[in-house]
Chain A
Amino acid sequence: MSRNDSKYFSTTKKGEIPELKEELNSQYKDKRKDAVKKVIAAMTVGKDVSSLFTDVVNCMQTENLELKKLVYLYLINYAKSQPDLAILAVNTFVKDSQDPNPLIRALAVRTMGCIRVDKITEYLCDPLQRCLKDDDPYVRKTAAICVAKLYDINAELVEDRGFLESLKDLISDNNPMVVANAVAALAEIQENNSRPIFEISSHTLSKLLTALNECTEWGQVFILDALSRYKAADAREAENIVERVTPRLQHANCAVVLSAVKMILLQMELITSTDVVRNLCKKMAPPLVTLLSAEPEIQYVALRNINLIVQRRPTILAHEIKVFFCKYNDPIYVKMEKLEIMIKLASDRNIDQVLLEFKEYATEVDVDFVRKAVRAIGRCAIKLERAAERCISVLLELIKIKVNYVVQEAIIVIKDIFRRYPNTYESIIATLCESLDTLDEPEAKASMIWIIGEYAERIDNADELLESFLESFPEEPAQVQLQLLTATVKLFLKKPTEGPQQMIQVVLNNATVETDNPDLRDRAYIYWRLLSTDPEAAKDVVLAEKPVITDDSNQLEPSLLDELLANIATLSSVYHKPPDVFVTRVLSSAQRTEDEDYVEGSETGFSDANPANGPASPPTGRQLAPASATGAPATPPSVAPLPDLLGDLMGMDNSIVPVDQPATPSGPPLHILLPASTGQGLQISAQLTRQDGQIFYSLLFENNSQVTLDGFMIQFNKNTFGLAAAGPLQVPQLQPGTSARTHLPMVTFQNMSQGPPSSLLQVAVKNNQQPVWYFNDKFSLHVFFTEDGRMERSSFLETWRSLPDSNEVSKDFPAIVIGSADATLERLAASNMFFIAKRKNANQDVFYFSSKLPKGVPFLIELTTVIGNPGVKCAIKSPSPEMSSLFFEAIETLLMG
């Protein structure tokens, strides 16, 4: 049976709002109900129907439950924007909370908790108090969650009214669902609080474990997650807990299973008996494997978690490697994760089978997957000494297929294998050299060059090979240039003949004089100085024996792993990052800022989606352990720490360092636009502001005249961004001597003016008593910058390069002083100008920012200054250079603070 609600979406005529208004006030019930449905439909598609607030609320007092629910839904969405009117609904809520029907009582409390308006919250307390003690468990379970909602709005109120105590009482409720919801609410309150509020005693623990059996599946998740914080006193207690949790592993709900696994793993840390631990591992393996027959998205979550689990307990799935073999039709994200786990589980026992699989994957279609499969073979070679030879022969077979990206990937891993097993497999170098011409990817090229340099004495024509690369030296990417430099030095030290001597001159010249890359230049100077002062010392440094590498890529450090394991099934376990890296937590109920604080390294994808790519790469947080295997030859600092040290000593730290910065919106000061003297006693101040992605016109009306003013209306003249009011102006009647403040939501691109961009905004305001007032306002461009203006560093660079130089405009602000970089970054971020990177140029600091105008017009900004000294140079690049004058006005105001 399907209804035909879609008709409610179809009315999109002009004058819709007045029409709806009329229908909402109809005397016929059915018509009113249909009208509310239309309002909800309009709300769903994103139309602003907030102006119908009073009319909708008038329909609230109804016996029809369906209609009531719709009105409540409307209230949840719009009460915040109409706090004064929302109060109209309070009476009905309070009445409903005493209705004989428990469903209505619960509905009232549930909805009231969702309305974050202070005035409503005050009235919520009494009904909530009653509902927490209601006879009906359905009402109690709803009230329990409501306490968490209220705590989020006003923590003090919750504590003052003793709701926390009531909530704790509910843990002993005889209804399992009430218990589960109370636990969820308490756990959440505790999470956002540094004081102990919900402490789990051994008594509570055993009560909750008993409740587990009777809860709904979701309730079991709440309880298990809350209990995972519990620290058992000793091994015996831990064993007891585990024993009561293990039956949950058989649950059909994957969330229950993962939460049970989390709890068991945590308690296992305390258990000393190896038999018990072995037994538990045996019990956990089958349910984990079963998760892989769920929906692909759930498989993905399971695989990310299994990745963590096998790092801590490698034996757990040691015999199950086959279940991670990729199916041809698995989604790519599942395949990538399976591959990662296969590498982790590969052992001498199963390596033959695993290699056959990898080889099979290396011939599939998806390029990323193929590359990862090739890399996997190399990683197995590094991990399993006895299998290295077999791995190499598979790699050589793959090279023979001559698929370009397979060859390049193979060369990259073979370089790692050489580092792991020096002087073992060099016989294959000749085969590698055959593919020299086909290499076009920097990493592959750099790897090959490293191999040539490292084994220069065994390759007869090493100098010729290197020379062929040297011709294009200036055009090569930094990574390749660095390798060429080092390889040439190695060649020279090993074969100090005429050819290499000339080559080294060319390279050093290129790398010191011709280059802009400071890393390259520094390294070249150091080599130069070493070579000219003491060639023997140079030999000791450059040809020093390298430490043997191990495959530790994607291996997490133990303390991080602990933290992630305590977060199994959550986002943290999927991102492999601790929660505080990506969650902006607000302790207690302090004011919540809806800033879009971009978190460092927030790009997540596959396990190694962000391999460190050369020296310019920013530190990617704790996501990747130092990629010594892949990064070493490309960046000698990790081979021999010496150059790095020198770099620091010389104070030439040129690397680009991203800085975290919080964004805090600040209250806008309003400018007086219509002084009382001109406005016959009416004074209007206003300012265009941006909040949560929405542009508002903040207006302050002060009535200094002798008459009461009402019926305010506002209109905007055509302007550059087509700003117009999104709704009617909501200004109450103004008695003499009073004032009113309002936030008028604005829309853009409504009535655009032609001609050159201008920051002029012409406004007309009228009321029923006075003539129409016209005044001019100037807006600042930054209010249009959108919240999604942050660019990745790479896309920033690309965009910068892709725009013609004629689009670059710069301006000097000789008087402006930037006292503190942090404060400035913070201020700019608050205006949606996002910090990308920073570098030092001589004594100057250069900052890069990005921002975006609506319709996706990017602005790339470069600020050059000496911190603390007057003078800021601002250069911008954008597809719309005509906006630059507006931009400079805006940045000037922002920088002045």
Chain B
Amino acid sequence: MPVAASAIYFLNLRGDVLINRLYRDDVGGNMVDAFRTHIMQTKELGTCPVRQIGGCSFFYMRISNVYIVIVVSNNANVACAFKFVVEAVALFRSYFGGAFDEDAIRNNFVLIYELLDEIMDFGYPQNLSPEILKLYITQEGVRSPFSSKPSDRPVPNATLQVTGAVGWRREGLVYKKNEVFLDIVESVNLLMSSKGSVLRCDVTGKILMKCFLSGMPDLKLGLNDKIGLEKEAQLKSRPAKSGKSIELDDVTFHQCVNLTRFNSEKTVSFVPPDGEFELMKYRITEGVNLPFKVLPTIKELGRSRIEVNVKVKSVFGAKMFALGVVVKIPVPKQTAKTNFTVTSGRAKYNASIDSLVWKIRKFPGQTESTLSAEVELISTTTEKKSWTRPPIQMEFQVPMFTASGLRVRFLKVWEKSGYNTVEWVRYITKAGSYEIRC
């Protein structure tokens, strides 16, 4: 059954109800008590996001200082429920201007009730697109399109747009200057063994789009992916252009993309929502260009001393540079004293995360930097167990670099009025979970 929820609760960390909405009659109104006593106040919290208590099942997620709890009594669609929560939070954020926490909920509780009534009916998710909902669920009650004057008609055919085939874009948009911004954001995930061999490595990328386009434009996006290029060559019956092409492991698209067409023609064509949205996500495991190599050597000298030596090499183009590079090198809990020398950036010992934190604001390409440190430990007599070494973690951003090698080849905009569009493309690669065991 695609039912996603019988009731939804928003609780603060103490377990007080901030908002609750019962959609179905099959769960009692006091089920939240069961959640509090059996999950929140026990060690259970955080061990499993789906739990059964009595005849009811609970799905919960924590977002900032709020628990969102869904209660069901039937064989509900869990995937649907969690996705609904994620989308609903995104929707609330877009209404509250970004923040989603206890205060934001209390300050907007009337609005949230109104939205909850609209986005789910009898446990079935309805349209959650902020673009459309903002047409008729406005922030200020007084600006409600249904004010007292009968002449004051609601936004024309709001209801048609909610239910329409293009349920994410409203009609009649006009911009003086038609612009599209494309951001290609990649995060590189790496797990490297202490010996320097890559255990797993992949790139998850997303293409974020910001559209300021008039009317109902049709867009077509071309990337340098192998399958797309081959298909194109096949359709135009000419050999594929030589040049670097990459192989995408998987792609997922925003609901505006015509999937059937993608499946048959391998082209990404869509009518975009207005404003900012995530057009697509992709994943690549082959041929990843790792921006950094990390070479750690950690030696335990006797029981009370550790020698740490970490060399970081940037392997992207010499003209580029990375920003906000942070290397976290774990040290044992009983660390007493640390001494370092670094060739660039600054390092310090952070006791709350038991790590040496080495920060380099700007890291040029094709260079290397080293940290060497000596760590003294409080000598313990009883502790015989060796220190379990967590991995070294790294954060960074490299603008104008894609670890996958993905490039946008073209973005075509077609609208019946035939205006010209300006397109902007940016690339950036960030660290996802970039871990090196040591």
CB proximity to A under 8 Å, residues B152-209: 154, 158-160, 162-165, 167, 189, 191, 193, 199-200, 202, 204
Are B278 and A582 interface neighbours, CB within 8 A? no
Which residues on the A side are within 8 Å of B321 (C-beta)? none
Are B55 and A141 interface neighbours, CB within 8 A? no
A622 → chain B closest CB, angstroms:
15
A323 → chain B closest CB, angstroms:
7
CB proximity to B under 8 Å, residues A177-200: 177-178, 181, 184, 187-188, 191
Stretch from B80-88, B293-301, B310-318 forming part of the interface with A: B80-88
Which residues on the A side are within 8 Å of B96 (C-beta)? 1-2
CB proximity to B under 8 Å, residues A235-267: 246-248, 250-255, 257-259
- Quick one: CB contact mask for A1-33 with B, threshold 8 Å, 1 for yes? 111111011000000000000000000000001
Is A69 an interface residue when CB atoms closer than 8 A count as contact?
Answer: yes
Is B280 an interface residue when CB atoms closer than 8 A count as contact?
Answer: yes
Which residues on the A side are within 8 Å of B410 (C-beta)? none
Is A102 an interface residue when CB atoms closer than 8 A count as contact?
Answer: yes
Are B28 and A248 interface neighbours, CB within 8 A? no
Are A692 and B28 interface neighbours, CB within 8 A? yes
Stretch from A85-93, A293-301, A733-741 forming part of the interface with B: A293-301
Known: A295-B86, A579-B75. A181 touches B124 (CB 8 A): yes
Is A805 an interface residue when CB atoms closer than 8 A count as contact?
Answer: no
In the bound assembly, the distance between CA atoms of A573 and B57 in angstroms comes to 13
Is B106 an interface residue when CB atoms closer than 8 A count as contact?
Answer: yes
Is A356 an interface residue when CB atoms closer than 8 A count as contact?
Answer: yes
In the bound assembly, the distance between CA atoms of A178 and B75 in angstroms comes to 24
Is B339 an interface residue when CB atoms closer than 8 A count as contact?
Answer: no
Are A176 and B165 interface neighbours, CB within 8 A? yes
In the bound assembly, the distance between CA atoms of A255 and B124 in angstroms comes to 13
Which residues on the A side are within 8 Å of B117 (C-beta)? 69, 72-73, 110
Is B377 an interface residue when CB atoms closer than 8 A count as contact?
Answer: no
Are B121 and A5 interface neighbours, CB within 8 A? no
Number of chain A residues whose Cβ lies closer than 8 Å to a Cβ of chain B = 139
The binding surface of chain B is classed by DSSP as: mixed
Is A583 an interface residue when CB atoms closer than 8 A count as contact?
Answer: yes
Known: A3-B107, A250-B259, A301-B82. A570 touches B113 (CB 8 A): no
Are B259 and A323 interface neighbours, CB within 8 A? no
Are A255 and B80 interface neighbours, CB within 8 A? yes
Q: Of the candidates B99, B122, B391, which one forms a contact with A328 in the assembled complex, judged by CB atoms under 8 Å apart?
A: B391
Is A594 an interface residue when CB atoms closer than 8 A count as contact?
Answer: yes
Are A289 and B249 interface neighbours, CB within 8 A? yes
B363 → chain A closest CB, angstroms:
23
Are B28 and A251 interface neighbours, CB within 8 A? no
In the bound assembly, the distance between CA atoms of A755 and B83 in angstroms comes to 55
Stretch from B141-149, B210-218, B364-372, B414-422 forming part of the interface with A: B141-149
Is A443 an interface residue when CB atoms closer than 8 A count as contact?
Answer: no
Is B423 an interface residue when CB atoms closer than 8 A count as contact?
Answer: no
Are A605 and B47 interface neighbours, CB within 8 A? yes
Is B51 an interface residue when CB atoms closer than 8 A count as contact?
Answer: yes
Known: A103-B158, A137-B159, A138-B163. A251 touches B259 (CB 8 A): yes
Are A252 and B260 interface neighbours, CB within 8 A? no
Which residues on the A side are within 8 Å of B103 (C-beta)? 6
Is A218 an interface residue when CB atoms closer than 8 A count as contact?
Answer: yes
CB proximity to B under 8 Å, residues A214-246: 214, 216-218, 221-222, 225-226, 246
Stretch from A269-277, A390-398, A538-546, A595-603 forming part of the interface with B: A595-603
Are B57 and A569 interface neighbours, CB within 8 A? no
B286 → chain A closest CB, angstroms:
12
Known: A40-B113, A788-B54. A77 touches B78 (CB 8 A): no
Stretch from A329-337, A433-441, A863-871 forming part of the interface with B: A329-337
Stretch from A41-49, A447-455, A811-819 forming part of the interface with B: A41-49
Q: Of the candidates A103, A175, A327, A582, which one forms a contact with B52 in the assembled complex, judged by CB atoms under 8 Å apart?
A: A582
New A-B contacts (20) at CB < 8 Å, excluding given A142-B121, A146-B122: A103-B154, A103-B158, A104-B146, A110-B121, A116-B25, A139-B159, A175-B163, A181-B126, A214-B165, A218-B126, A221-B2, A259-B77, A298-B79, A401-B385, A569-B77, A573-B78, A597-B54, A598-B55, A599-B55, A602-B54
Query: Top 10 A-B pairs ranked by shortest CB distance?
Result: A138-B159, A286-B250, A66-B141, A579-B75, A6-B106, A247-B259, A255-B80, A247-B263, A596-B54, A177-B163
Q: List 27 A-B contacts (CB under 8 A).
A: A1-B97, A2-B99, A6-B103, A70-B110, A145-B122, A148-B122, A191-B1, A213-B259, A216-B126, A217-B255, A218-B80, A251-B253, A255-B83, A290-B252, A290-B281, A293-B204, A300-B48, A325-B191, A353-B199, A360-B437, A402-B385, A569-B77, A570-B78, A579-B74, A584-B55, A602-B52, A692-B28
Chain A residues with CB under 8 Å of chain B are 1-6, 8-9, 33, 37, 40-41, 44-46, 63-67, 69-70, 72-73, 76-77, 101-104, 106, 110, 113-114, 116, 136-139, 141-142, 145-146, 148-149, 152, 175-178, 181, 184, 187-188, 191, 213-214, 216-218, 221-222, 225-226, 246-248, 250-255, 257-259, 286-287, 289-290, 293, 295-298, 300-302, 322-323, 325, 327-329, 331-333, 353, 356-357, 360, 363-365, 401-403, 567, 569-575, 579, 582-585, 592, 594-599, 602-606, 692-694, 787-788, 790, 856
